Amino acid sequence: MSKVDVTAAVVGDGWDCAVTVRDGSETHHLVRVSRADLARLAPGASDPVDLVEASFAFLLEREPKESILREFDITVIGRYFPDYEREIGDCLAR
């Protein structure tokens, strides 16, 4: 099972989230989340940490950590996986 660590830093009108995924080896990723995307994907959240953690859980169910882009905007996930926004909303609502 992979361990996902996320730290978020405010940058401009959003956050840069540094993500480390560990499961024996580790990968590092940078995910950008705008305030507008956070409000749409995780209404009421004050920062994107839970959203990014849930998004990586979603991704890791579908591909190995080495296949996840090293740097991307959170909205890119929906281009690869059309069910992302619906599923992430359901996941965060629990």
Instruction: Please give the average per-residue pLDDT across 14-37, as a whole number.
Output: 97
Examine the pLDDT at 21 and tell me if it is beyond 90: yes
Query: pLDDT band at 9, cuts 50/70/90?
Result: very high
Residue-number span of the structural domain to which 12 is assigned = 3-93
Whose tokens are 């959240």? That residue is: 45
Q: Determine contact, residues 52/8, Cβ cutoff 8 Å.
A: yes
Two structure tokens written together for 43: 């209404």
User: What is the rounded distance in angstroms from the CA atom of residue 88 to the CA atom of residue 90?
Assistant: 5
Report how many domains make up the chain. Answer: 1
pTM for the full model?
Answer: 0.95
Burial class, 89, CB count within 10 angstroms (exposed 0-12 / middle 13-18 / buried 19+): middle
pLDDT at residue 90, as a whole number:
82
The candidate with the shortest Cα–Cα distance to 21, out of 72, 62, 66, is 66
